[in-house]
Amino acid sequence: MSHDKTMKLVTNLDRGAIEAKLAEVRAAAQSKGLSDLAGMFTGVEGMPRAQMESRVHNAQKWLAGKMEHGNIAALLDLVEMNLKNLK
């Protein structure tokens, strides 16, 4: 029996939903003791799009190849797909 979760791909998240997903990333990182990663997403509320994109991309690079943190990487991928929606 597989316990893999399937993430629904949503590409119409607004700023509030994107910020909520990043709060999930921050909480997940904190719960796994990844304080550096969690710190990347402190204070993202109201952050300009370019700065948010930079943090998401840096976090994705940091997580590359770390399969044990796949759930966090998946959340970041979802956010990345929606960054174009930020105004």
- For the stretch 1-42, pLDDT in tens is 444 555 667 899 999 999 999 999 999 999 999 999 999 999
The Cβ of residue 31 has, within 10 Å, a number of other Cβ atoms equal to: 10
Task: Look at residue 10 in the predicted model and tell me its pLDDT.
Answer: 87
Show the tokens assigned to 33: 């003791």
pTM, to two decimals? 0.86
pLDDT digits (tens, 9 = 90+) for 36-86: 999 999 999 999 999 999 999 999 999 998 999 999 999 999 999 999 999
Sequence spans of domains, the chain: 15-85
